[in-house]
Structure 1
Amino acid sequence: MFLALKDLVNLFNDKQGIQDDVLFRTISDKAAEEQPMGLFVPVNSEAGELLEAISHGAIAAVWDKEKTLPRYTPTQFPIFFTNDLVEAMREIINLYIEKLDGETNKNMDRTNFKISNNTLLNKNNQTYDIAGQLAKLLTQNNQERRG
């Protein structure tokens, strides 16, 4: 199950660009990371430039309201604005886990979270290892079926 652009439309009030329904195959906090059909969330200054993220496959971005969007940003490119990028990433992860709602079929296509920034881990007490969360859901799901 993939995270959809329409999921983010409901999560963020402030947005611009085309809001067509597309599915995100990746979510990354690094512009240099390959992110086909990706959502770019630059959580700090080391994340890289939006143009680089677009060249690596980003099709949308979450952006700090206080920062000016680069002039080269395509008019139709979906941008979701927030006051706190780390909190936005946390909300996206939680939304995705909620969307899965226990569905963890091993053959199911899933959004690939490519999160490498330690800020995400240090700011919050909960884990940001989405693979770990999916494994936990799978284990819980299997135990419920056996009982």
Structure 2
Amino acid sequence: MLMYELARSEDEYMSLAEISAAQRVSQGYLEQIVIPLREHGLVRGKRGFGGGYKLARPADRITVGEIVKVAEGPVAPVKCMHEDFSDHDCPDDCRARLVWEKVGNAIEGVLNSITLRDLIEGASHTGKKEDSNSE
């Protein structure tokens, strides 16, 4: 939401109040999520009149995967895939783990293939613009 609005505003700073109104989400929530985005170099902030936030890089250089990783952490479809999960908590013969690793890698691949530019231009996960007239 926040990153989408910043991508739409291009190089202009947007206040959290403006983003809150545009996305119909609380400003308090935006204040919480903007901190890690700034710390990880995805957004840049400016105080004072005309200030707010803007993207730290062009929209075509920021992927949805980067945003998800900052906001939610690494993609882990099941508990045993989380980084803080100990291998000794998983049975040695767990054959499902390999499947879940492939699922996680596939999800990451899709998320990393979509940029903010793709989102604002209405592109699908294939990188092609969706035809709004198709059925």
TM-score, normalisation: structure 2: 0.30
Normalized per residue, the structure richer in helix is 2
Rg larger in structure: 2
TM-score, normalisation: structure 1: 0.29
Normalized per residue, the structure richer in strand is 1
